[in-house]
Every structure is written in structure tokens, then in C-alpha cells.
A and B are shown apart, each in its own frame.
Chain A
């Protein structure tokens, strides 16, 4: 059988991840400082790890219900209510293998061939391929630095067609660090309702905001019944490797997602689910000590990076969420690919080119500040000397 026949057109047509090629180069390099990491540098808090060990010892090694264990779903409901004022029933929660699985499920659950899904651009690299794999058509909403990378009514109206079925909303945003506030959502809510769109709200960075607390679009009138909120434990509790996420939303849609999940995944890891229960219970009953500590630490690094990059002449808008900063490199005359490649080879600092996160993002690079203070300072010094050498 030829290679060409073996692979489906659907998969062939999706371009490879722009992050991947950088990964291969950077991971070979010695003494490289990476600002390319999309996960917390904090260890998972010990109480959470310890509860996973206990779960293993006490034999919690069986399948759980497809929806996820009742105890974890109850904990998730309590958490969403405490932190974001969201109210759901137990049968509106689905525990997934990371927020990534929840995204995949929702795309597959709603998509008919040719349906269009609006995706913020720039944004996390998995949305566009996810829509394509599910047989839909991803349509980028080109966000502008001058709008602080928020979705505006103008941008939204300009991309809606009769085929538009859903919109992905992903704030705090990877890679920009942008947030959307209640007032910003109010401006686009009418358009969403008029066009009867499903809202897929990826709120994985909801705990990491550095001004006002996160506001979920599901809280707006008329939104709860059309919104799937996707979240997980990776960013809020530094649990990336546990692969634990969840979706909450209208029951018919969650039911459809469960239908796929029960045949493809069956359930999320029982051990991870036990760890998730501990994560939420401990934080909810102690006023979120570890979440607050991590957020405070990220905030310090954010200020350091923001000041440092601006000071060396790389203008960037101030990120107010997640742990990324997205400086504009246009004044260097290099495009993002070349900038990142040269920075990597000449100064051994790894950043991710803006082009990996959407077309037309060639003037930007993504720097993650989920790294130690010493690393960040050294990286800033190296970037500065790189720019001066141009």
C-alpha cells in the first residue's frame, strides 16, 4: 500500500504543528533557555500527588462511570460555583482526559461536514486541526494588537456566514495573554444569539488572571444554554501530566459528547480523578492557598518580562492572563520564524514564532514566563543582546 493511500485526506490536509519543528531543534541544544514551555514550572502540590499515591495503594484502579466519578463531578460543580458563579447539574458535567479531549469531543459532537467554526487567531494550536479532523471548516477571526487581541463585534460580524455553527472563545488567551471582560462579552453576545451560535469557551487559564478575576461568557443572559465551558486541572493546579479536564454545558450536548467519550475513551484515569478531588477539595476549603501563591508568583514574573521586553524596545501590550507575553518584533525587520531561529542559534533562547498560532502573526513571538526567575532574567539579557546585534 502506498503511503499516499494509507492516510486520509482529512489528516493529510492538516498542516503539521509549527511548534514541532522548533521543539526538535531546541531539545537538542545544550544550555538553551526555553521560553517556549506551555505548562507550569511548579510541581504539582504534594497533597495532590500524595492523594494519587493513596488512590493507587487503596486500589482505585478500576473504570469509573463514563461521566467521571460522582465525587469528582460534585467537586467540580462546587468549584465552578465558588470561583465563577456558574451553576450546573451533576448530569451536565463530563470528566475528560485533559481539556484537549473535551475540545475534540465537542467538535465531533456538533459538526456536520462543511459546518464552520470561528476560531480566534492567534490562539492555541489545537483548535483549527480539531475542527478539521471533525469534518468542519475552521474560520479564523483575525484579532488585532490594537484591540488588545480581544474579539470585537466588527471582527465577529465580518466572518459569520450562514454555515457558521459555533465560536471558540479562549480567554485568558494562549499565546497573547489577552483577557476578555464582561463588557467585551456583552458587545458580542447579541451577534452570537442572533446567529444562534454554539459557544465553546476554553477557560483553562481562568485561574491565572492578574487584574480582575476571570469572567465566564456563560454567565451572560442567554449564554448558559448555548455554551460549553471547558476547563481542566493542568494550569490551575499544575497537573499537566495527570491529563484531567472537564466540560460543562447544556445536557443534550454533554450527552452527545458522552456518547463519543464512552466508546473512544471510556473514562479518564481513575487515579487522576482521585487526585482531582483532592485538588479541588483542599483549595475550596482553604481559600485557594496554592492557586493564589502560584498566581502571585506568575504575576511577578509577568511584570518583570513586560518591563524587560518594553525596555529593550520590543513593544508588547500588557498581558493580563495566562503565563505568556506576546511582544511585537516588527521593528527588528525579521519575521517571527527567522527571529526565533536566529535567537535560538545565536543566543540559545527558545521562543515560539507567532506564525505557529495563526496566519498573519509573523510580527510576534510567544514568550512563556512559566520559568524560574533566574532563567527569565538571563533570557531577557540574551534577547537584549540579540536585538542590539541586529
Chain B
């Protein structure tokens, strides 16, 4: 999987998931068949997990809310953190779960229709789980950059149209 074509394809798709096989072939210098095959392989092996859009939710003026929740955990012997993480990531409100080094253990990002729902989720579902020692909920107030994309980008100064 360390093949450089695979890496090139991933770079391109990570930047534009809608890029077609033909374009990828032109840009990598590989045949369309080889590109198609490589993408198939990576999809099967779950290297490419999903093709999704990066959405700037603020622009659709919704009430939706997101929060980052720090969770301290009492790990169980023989099971570590994985069992509890599974209990948490199963909820549909949960967008991401990471095991962290530092002052807390699990970083849980939760998405819901509004702030009230997130609060409810925390005290009804998350905080009461066996093994959860404590939670600290941080609501996300504004997103500046999402997955490498600056959401509040300013207009760029134009380059000269022709230069030597």
C-alpha cells in the first residue's frame, strides 16, 4: 500500500473527492484502468472510508450545535478503553471519538439539532455510563478551519495576469 500511485490518488481525492478517474489518470500519468483498480482496492481495504462534502453549516443558518466533550474514564481491567469507546461511538449524535494523551482520556465530538439536545445527550447518555468518571462539555462557537479548509477565507489579492 506504500505504492506512490496510491499515495498520489489519496492526495488528489482528499482534496477533491469528486475528481474522476480520467482526470486522476491524466494527472498521475497512470492508465485509467490502473487508477480504477487502485481506488477499488483502497475502497475494499477501507483505506478510503467514505466520500463526503465539507459543509460550512453557518451558511445554512441552522440551529445545529456541536460540542467537544472531554471524558475521563476509569478503564476496566482486560478491556482498556475500547469497550467504553464503543459504547460511546455507537450513539448517532457522536461524530468522532479519539483516545487522548493528557488530562482526559476520550475526546468526543457530538453533533445535534440544538444545544439542548447536546446537554440532554451528556447527562442522559454519556455521563451516566459505567466507567465514565467525569465530563467537560465545550460548545463549538465558530469554526475557522475544517479539515484543512479555511471557512472564513478572505478574498485573495489577484496576481498579475501576465508576468515574465
A positions within 8 Å CB-CB of B:
17, 19, 22-23, 26-27, 32, 34, 36-39, 41, 43, 124-126, 174, 296, 300-301, 303-304, 307-308, 350, 352, 373, 377
Q: Is the CB of A23 within 8 A of B160?
A: yes
B8, B156, B159 pick with most chain A CB within 10 angstroms: B159
Closest to A28 in B: B161
Q: Please report the C-alpha to C-alpha distance between residue A352 and residue B160 in the assembled complex, in whole angstroms.
A: 13
CB-defined contacts of A38 to chain B, threshold 8 Å = 162-164
> Do A303 and B27 touch across chains, with their CB atoms under 8 A apart?
yes
Are A307 and B161 in contact (CB-based, < 8 A)?
Answer: no
Which of chain B's residues have a CB closer than 8 A to the CB of A350? 161-162
Within 8 A of A (CB), among B5-51: 8, 11-12, 16, 23, 26-29
Q: A38-B164, A303-B28 are in contact. List 4 more A-B contacts (CB 8 A).
A: A23-B160, A36-B162, A296-B8, A303-B29
CB of A37 within 8 A of CB of B27, answer: no
Inter-chain contact B28/A300, CB cutoff 8 Å: yes
CB neighbours (8 Å) of A32 from chain B are: 161
Q: List 15 A-B contacts (CB under 8 A).
A: A22-B162, A23-B161, A23-B162, A26-B161, A27-B160, A32-B161, A34-B162, A36-B163, A37-B162, A38-B163, A39-B160, A126-B164, A300-B12, A300-B27, A304-B23
Given contacts A303-B27, A303-B29, A307-B26, contact A27 B161 (CB under 8 A): yes
Q: 7 closest Cβ contacts across the A-B interface?
A: A36-B162, A300-B27, A23-B162, A38-B163, A27-B161, A26-B161, A34-B161
**Residue on B nearest A174 in the bound complex, by CB:** B164
Q: What is the interface of chain B, defined by CB distance below 8 A to chain A?
A: 8, 11-12, 16, 23, 26-29, 156, 159-164
CB distance from A372 to the nearest CB of B (A): 11
Cα of A235 to Cα of B159 in the assembled complex, Å: 14
Residues on the A chain within 8 Å of B16, using CB: 373
CB-CB under 8 A from B156, the residues of chain A are 43
Q: B16: nearest residue on chain A (CB-CB)?
A: A373
A26: B residues at CB distance < 8 A: 161-162
Give the distance in Å from the alpha carbon of A249 to the alpha carbon of B28 in the complex: 38
Decide if B162 touches A352 in the complex (CB within 8 Å): yes
CA distance A22 to B162 in the complex (A): 7
Residues of B within 8 A of A22 (CB): 162
What residue of chain A has the Cβ atom nearest to residue B157's Cβ?
A241
Is the pair A39, B162 in contact by a Cβ cutoff of 8 Å?
Answer: no
Max count, chain A CB within 10 A of own CB: residue among B11, B28, B164: B164
CB-CB under 8 A from B164, the residues of chain A are 17, 19, 38, 124-126, 174
In the complex, what residues of A have CB within 8 A of residue B161's CB?
23, 26-27, 32, 34, 36-37, 350
Chain A residues closer than 8 Å to B160, beta-carbon distance:
23, 27, 37, 39
Q: How far is the CA of A22 from the CA of B160 in the complex (A)?
A: 12
- Interchain CA distance A174-B163 in the complex, whole Å: 12
Q: Across the interface, do B163 and A37 meet the contact criterion of CB distance under 8 Å?
A: yes
Given the known interface contacts A19-B164, A126-B164, the answer about A37 and B159 at a Cβ–Cβ threshold of 8 Å is yes
Nearest A residue to B24, CB-CB: A300
The residue that B26 contacts in the complex, of A27, A39, A304, with Cβ under 8 A, is A304
On chain A, the residues within 8 Å of B8 by CB distance are 296, 300
Name the contact of A296 in the complex, choosing from B11, B23, B29 (C-beta under 8 A): B11
Let me know if A301 and B162 touch, CB within 8 A.
no
A104 CB to nearest B CB, Å: 14
User: Within the complex, what minimum Cβ distance (angstroms) separates A130 from chain B?
Assistant: 12
CA distance A43 to B157 in the complex (A): 10
A308 contacts B163, CB within 8 Å?
A: no
Nearest CB in chain B to that of A301: its residue? B27
A41 to B157, CA, bound (A): 11
CB neighbours (8 Å) of B11 from chain A are 296
What separation, in Å, do the CA atoms of A27 and B163 have in the docked complex?
A: 11
Point out the residues of chain A lying under 8 angstroms from B23, CB to CB.
304, 377
* Bound Cα distance A300, B19 (Å): 13
Are B28's CB and A41's CB within 8 A? no
Closest partner residue, chain B, to A297 (CB atom): B11
Residue among B12, B27, B160, B161 with most chain A CB within 10 A: B161
Nearest CB of B to A300, in Å? 4
Query: A41 and B26: CB pair below 8 A?
Result: no
How many Å lie between the Cα of A302 and that of B14 in the bound state?
20
